[in-house]
Structure 1
Amino acid sequence: MTARTGAQYKAGLDDGREVWLGDEQIDITTHPAMARSIEGMASYFDYQHLHADEALMAAPHGGQMNVSHLLPRSKKDIQRRHVAFDRLARYSVGMLGRTPDYVNVVLAGHVSRRDIFEQYGDTVFHDRLAAYQREVIDGDLALTHTIVHAAIDKSVGEFEGVNEDLTLRVVDRTAEGVVVRGAKMLATLGPIADELYVYPATPIRPGQEEYAISFAIPVNTPGVVSVCRDPYVVDMDVVDRPFSARFDEQDAVVIFEDVLVPWHRVFIDGNLDVYNRINGGTATGNTQQQTAIRACVKLEFAYDLCVQMAKATGTDAKPDTAAMLGEIYSYLRIARAVVHSAEIKSSDWGGGAWFCHDDISSLRTMMPLWMARVNDIIKTMGSHNLLATPTAAAFDHPRLGPLVEKYLPGAQGVSARERARIFRTAWDFAGSALGSRNELYERFYLGSVGRARALDHRKAQGKGETGAFRELFEDAGIPAADAMAPQSVGATH
């Protein structure tokens, strides 16, 4: 089957899934709160066809597939993916974090590392995983993940106390498959995706094998319950709310009430060796190529948006404004440089899987801070202008139109209509309900900054990236032992 269109994607959602909004179980295909979110995702599927030369490629078994399914085996594959990720991110200027190419990339990375299953597990599980990827390709399915443990009580371990019975785990095994029970956080796109892919995120210790499970199931599987947050979509013209009118990808807690997962959809079942290695063996070099490129596209848009804001207020030549604009541009340049370097230094991570250099993980520690700072700059630069924004319809009103044209123009020849469009876009980007949600998403969708930094530190120590201190003294002819010894006051050497 070739890559789907938006109409085909929408048709696949009419499957009886259990989705809750407030205290109401809803049909997502007819409920008004989901309509624009679904249309926004459907347009993504159409967009891949509009830009087929960049976004699509020949599938191994015939037809076309999204490039995100590619198993990278060379630097050429890395560059091919770069072009596709950049193009797909431009559909929403990076505002959609969970377009299907995201989890497609995760799955492709796991399939690429057959060597981990060969060395530490049973290749029958990898065979299932590879067969599943073919299902996803053939159906051009929209995947999302739900991987965070439901650790409500942070005063104890993830699987201790009340957390023990809350998070997803295996409770039975039958001839048909495994039975799982518990909750997972947080399925962005979950209510309007086709399938859920549950896979390892953080390591699990011995003795907790029942939590070490990886599988994939349709969202409409009996016992799968999606509990949605409040919708942030608005029923307004795209020109007035370019993001909130179509890009609310919806987030949900997913509850698994004794869900039967067929054996052919079970990819890890209690094997800690595989569970604890597969994410570390793929996540940064593979998955973060997609996430970093999306972030670059978003920073590029934010920079240009702020430039337009400065022109519309006549502040573009002021030193403080120029400094803020330069700050955003510096984030963009650094991000691009890190991506470029990581792609140039891409290599075989094992078993022929060709991923970016692990240095790309540095963006995971910095991008959340940069994105929050960009929003702060937008609010600082925009000031009251973010609130003095007539709708597009106001300009067409015979009484109101001439008034807002006269009294709300932009500086430097910017029309009142264009000024309103600029600042309405800025508010939707940084200040609206969806803009605030997106800032929170940027902060945590790859885990906390503190955890990411600690992980990078442990990686550095594991690589032996120490010794500079001792080298300073060794170069001066001071023995290492003496350099480390405590010195008394007034001692001579």
Structure 2
Amino acid sequence: MPARTGKQYLEKLKKDRREIYLDGERIDDITEHPELKGAAEAVAHLYDLQYEYPDIMLTENEKGEKVATAFMFPKTKEDLWKIHKASKLWSEYSAGIMGRSPDYLNITFACYASRTDVWRKYGEEEKAKNLENYFKYIRDNDLCLTHCIVNPQVDRSVPEAMQGEGDLALHKVGETEDSIIVSGARMLGTLAPFADEMTIYPSRAGKGIRPEDTKYALMFAVPMDQPGMKLICRDSFSKKRDTFDYPLSSRFDEQDAIVIFDNAHIPKERVFIDGNTELYRAVTDEVNWGAYIVFQAMTRALTKLEFLFGIGHMIADMNGVNAFDHIKEKLGEIWQYKELTRSAIVSAIEGAKENGVNGVLVPDARPLTALRGCMPKWIPRSIELIQLIGGGGFLCTPSRKDMQGPLRPYIDKYYQARNKSALEKIKVNRLAWDFIGSDLAGRGELYERFYLVDSFRVTMDTYTNADKTAEIALVKRFLDQMVLEEEKELV
């Protein structure tokens, strides 16, 4: 079937009978639950955007059917630009809030499927075919995926396989002729209530798997209603909220969930790694996963910084403080983050090189890796700057019910801005607060700090893994020129 519409997405979601819990209650219909409905409809709108912008959002498979651009194997820089533009359109719909829009996992599995030679290198011919078949299945059915790639936080001081005597981390407990049987938990299933499938695969933390940890070296995918799979959601940040008072929380809370596997049977044709610790440890690096996924992630981050700059300017302008030097500096700082991000994405595309296997282009990872270390600092810092620009105005903004109440004449008089009516000013402040100060905003800030590994570890790795050859040669050239008569006396 070709790329889905929002209606088709919701119809499939409505029929699903996944075992998912929110506030201790099993949810029967995601599409009608008051605290989940808004985000379900938001994801549906993303699918509708594919048909509003088909030249950007859609490409073709081998059969000539229209499929999502994010599934593309990029062979030219124009292909990479198209993938970037498609991700940008989706991210702009939620102002970059929805970090797990379907393109995130679409790009991930396109990356894997373009490098099944890595599986064959480690002797996994059958698993390579499984992966190729699965990729075509999700592409041609335009499925929405989530993932859980981190084991539970229990005791990080010991190897993951040793936590809770080895019973807590996701692991294989048995096997039948047609399936492997798994138990244990994984975190953090962002978008889990709204996805069609759950995927399990190595994160960069997969390097913590030891050669003897074969039962923990797993990669597979299953439908969200897989028997033996349960999901526990965190608090909802929608809470039946009014779209005027909470224009973002009411629609874009993509949710996060812990997934628990309780003797779940995973069909063998859905298994991509089963006990091969060598492949498990190597796969993320050897398929260039980091370059592709950070490419998508930084496209979304760019949208967030654009929104922060825009809302900061509007607040400063309507309050008349953008004439002050210290406010200009704050807004200029956000602009710099935004432009550095944009420039790095351009550099990643223009510096892309073939993967050396099948002509697929890999974005230049260097500028993306630099952004990956900076973004967990830049976005929280930009949020702080907006708080400083808006100040106490965020704490005394009327609600919709206030606007409909008997004090409306006073509100119109005393809440007006320099160049906006009270209603316009209130709308700007409520939008800004939902982005920087609400409970969804708090979740978003934490998400940006950690979802691609914390800034400390990434920044440390950038130094450790950096090619220092050219820089060392530059310094040595000057050292070699320092041949002075006085130096001979020092030898």
| d(CA) in 2 for partners of 1:469, 1:235 | 62
Match of 2:186? 184
Query: In structure 2, which of residues 82, 102, 105 is the aligned counterpart of residue 103 of structure 1?
Result: 105
| Percent pairwise identity | 35
Question: Where do 1:366-377 residues align within 5 Å?
Answer: 366-377=374-385
User: Do the aligned partners of 2:237 and 2:253 also contact (CA within 8 Å) in 1?
Assistant: yes
Cα deviation per residue 1:236-280 (whole Å; 9 max; x = unaligned)? 343332210100000000011111111110111122332222211
AA of the residue aligned to 1:310: A
AA of the residue aligned to 1:152: V
Residues 407 and 298 of structure 1: CA distance in aligned 2, closer, same or farther (over 3 Å): same
Match of 1:339? 345
Query: In structure 1, which of residues 355, 371, 375 is the aligned counterpart of residue 362 of structure 2?
Result: 355
Residues 71 and 462 of structure 1: CA distance in aligned 2, closer, same or farther (over 3 Å): farther
Unaligned runs of 5+ in 2: none
Residues 1:307 and 2:309 aligned together: no
| d(CA) in 1 for partners of 2:477, 2:216 | 45
Cα deviation per residue 1:261-309 (whole Å; 9 max; x = unaligned)? 1111011112233222221132222111111111111111110110000
| d(CA) in 2 for partners of 1:439, 1:232 | 14
Secondary structure of 1:31's aligned partner: coil
| d(CA) in 2 for partners of 1:163, 1:406 | 65
Higher mean C-alpha deviation, range 348-357 or range 222-231: 348-357
Query: In structure 2, which of residues 451, 454, 457 is the aligned counterpart of residue 448 of structure 1?
Result: 454
Query: In structure 2, which of residues 369, 389, 392 is the aligned counterpart of residue 384 of structure 1?
Result: 392
Match of 2:4? 4
Q: CA deviation at 1:433?
A: 0.4
Higher mean C-alpha deviation, range 331-340 or range 146-155: 146-155
Question: Where do 1:265-280 residues align within 5 Å?
Answer: 265-280=270-285
| d(CA) in 2 for partners of 1:361, 1:440 | 19
| d(CA) in 2 for partners of 1:289, 1:316 | 33
User: Do the aligned partners of 1:113 and 1:278 also contact (CA within 8 Å) in 2?
Assistant: no
User: Do the aligned partners of 2:35 and 2:240 also contact (CA within 8 Å) in 1?
Assistant: no
Match of 1:486? none
Match of 2:407? 400
| d(CA) in 2 for partners of 1:118, 1:336 | 37
Match of 2:151? 149
Secondary structure of 1:11's aligned partner: helix
Question: Where do 1:92-491 residues align within 5 Å?
Answer: 92-162=94-164, 164-201=166-203, 202=205, 203=207, 204-280=209-285, 281-352=287-358, 353-359=360-366, 360-392=368-400, 394-397=402-405, 399-411=406-418, 413-460=419-466, 466=472, 470-477=476-483
* TM, length-normalised to structure 1: 0.93
| d(CA) in 1 for partners of 2:298, 2:311 | 20
Residues 207 and 151 of structure 1: CA distance in aligned 2, closer, same or farther (over 3 Å): farther
User: Do the aligned partners of 1:231 and 1:250 also contact (CA within 8 Å) in 2?
Assistant: yes
Cα deviation per residue 1:317-372 (whole Å; 9 max; x = unaligned)? 10110000000000001111111111100011242231101111111100011111
Higher mean C-alpha deviation, range 116-125 or range 425-434: 116-125
User: Do the aligned partners of 1:28 and 1:192 also contact (CA within 8 Å) in 2?
Assistant: no
Residues 459 and 2 of structure 1: CA distance in aligned 2, closer, same or farther (over 3 Å): same
Match of 1:487? none
Unaligned runs of 5+ in 1: 484-490
Q: CA deviation at 1:46?
A: 1.7
User: Do the aligned partners of 1:151 and 1:166 also contact (CA within 8 Å) in 2?
Assistant: no
Secondary structure of 1:162's aligned partner: helix
> How many residues in Structure 1 have an aligned counterpart in Structure 2?
481
Residues 121 and 317 of structure 1: CA distance in aligned 2, closer, same or farther (over 3 Å): farther
* TM, length-normalised to structure 2: 0.93
Q: CA deviation at 1:150?
A: 2.0
Cα deviation per residue 1:432-464 (whole Å; 9 max; x = unaligned)? 000000001111111111221232223215878
Q: CA deviation at 1:43?
A: 1.8
AA of the residue aligned to 2:197: E
Cα deviation per residue 1:139-173 (whole Å; 9 max; x = unaligned)? 21110111012241122222224262211111112
Residues 1:492 and 2:486 aligned together: no
Q: CA deviation at 1:405?
A: 0.9
Residues 79 and 185 of structure 1: CA distance in aligned 2, closer, same or farther (over 3 Å): same
Secondary structure of 1:4's aligned partner: coil
Residues 117 and 466 of structure 1: CA distance in aligned 2, closer, same or farther (over 3 Å): farther
Alpha-carbon RMSD? 2.0
| d(CA) in 1 for partners of 2:249, 2:294 | 26
Residues 140 and 455 of structure 1: CA distance in aligned 2, closer, same or farther (over 3 Å): same
Secondary structure of 1:127's aligned partner: helix
User: Do the aligned partners of 2:42 and 2:252 also contact (CA within 8 Å) in 1?
Assistant: yes
Secondary structure of 1:343's aligned partner: helix
| d(CA) in 1 for partners of 2:390, 2:59 | 42
Secondary structure of 2:2's aligned partner: coil
| d(CA) in 1 for partners of 2:115, 2:241 | 46
Secondary structure of 1:181's aligned partner: strand
Higher mean C-alpha deviation, range 76-85 or range 328-337: 76-85
User: Do the aligned partners of 1:47 and 1:91 also contact (CA within 8 Å) in 2?
Assistant: no
Residues 393 and 294 of structure 1: CA distance in aligned 2, closer, same or farther (over 3 Å): same
Query: In structure 1, which of residues 63, 83, 86 is the aligned counterpart of residue 85 of structure 2?
Result: 83
Higher mean C-alpha deviation, range 464-473 or range 258-267: 464-473
Residues 172 and 251 of structure 1: CA distance in aligned 2, closer, same or farther (over 3 Å): same
| d(CA) in 2 for partners of 1:185, 1:310 | 40
Q: CA deviation at 1:471?
A: 4.5
Q: CA deviation at 1:115?
A: 2.2
AA of the residue aligned to 2:105: V
| d(CA) in 1 for partners of 2:252, 2:152 | 26
Q: CA deviation at 1:394?
A: 4.0
